[in-house]
Structure 1
């Protein structure tokens, strides 16, 4: 069982792959899309959950998503069919960092996918390439709530310089030529819901499929993730989602 299969199972009960509650997702989409956006792109879309939500809420919008995970994209297409929005959704199996399009987009999303670009600022650089004049970017990434100790870094498999604190993170975004017009910092409740769903969904699948060749791997992954979270990065890793416009 590879990392992608584990991720799909772990997100069964929390399809939005970020520590964000449903009402938060709706609010962020509303702020990003507004009343005028018609064309939206998600770089690193996974199962295209953000786009499915968006299309269901906004019948005027057409959307495209890019990801390298064919299995996740197949789930996205199936979900779009179930919601009757598949005619307004195009999903591309491609490297999001190298993706090109013949037209610009009113909104570009990339939430929790900065690793695919090499960090937050490279993600924003990629988003800028696709953005129409006056458009908005919806981006989400981690930051340090407090100085990470060894347990937090070990639990995440991260380095101390992988993130900055919140103020420094926003300052870097602004210095890169962006103006935040809205933002949300994930609450502890949102984080706990996300992590309990991640570890619980995976563990439950392993318990329900004891004869599957991947069962032991899934069970161990759930246990290791839970330990890394509870004994390591809980209260240390934060997550911020920003709605941005290009600065004058």
Structure 2
């Protein structure tokens, strides 16, 4: 069987230009979403494994790893990015999509806002959940940096130093093994070089709603009537395993018991 080529695309959406990669093909559609200060390369190994039998689409969300700044007036709050994901699915006319979330926790916002009609299956892996936005010690550190003038520029400049990336307050609690340096360089380069990209990330980090609104969104997962398996990393300290068990209990069609890896 010939493996589909991975092609790059761009979409002009309401917030700005969103880049994405698409394997094409006639297989079931997977849309793979990444988290803050990352890009679609997070999924490079998954795409390599699944592309022969699936159409894999990987957008670069405006969460700091994107290369094209969004419009100055773009809504890049948690809800705003969730709406952008829904707009992305609509622009590509995708239906019955398997939407896979990792790190970014917009699933609860998508469902609560009624933007989940194009989703056939929702796969939730270790991510922001309930009121853990941004998640854990790294998230708290990022939020503090975003509130300070020049804070994000300073924080990410320090991440040019490889040892800084393994600290508990940065990426040290996010992975069991170090992410290859060249991959992280690609994630951070837009934040190193563009004040507009830092502006976009600041909007997201400071655009988290109050705790009661986040919990209301989480409760809305009870209304999702499609399969929604949950998989969580057992050793994750930024996004604790308890946050994997709780959505699995909320989701009426979770498809299987929550898994830990």
Higher relative contact order (CA 8 A, sep 6+): 1
Q: TM-score, normalised to structure 1's length? A: 0.37
Q: TM-score, normalised to structure 2's length? A: 0.36
Point out the structure with the larger strand share.
1
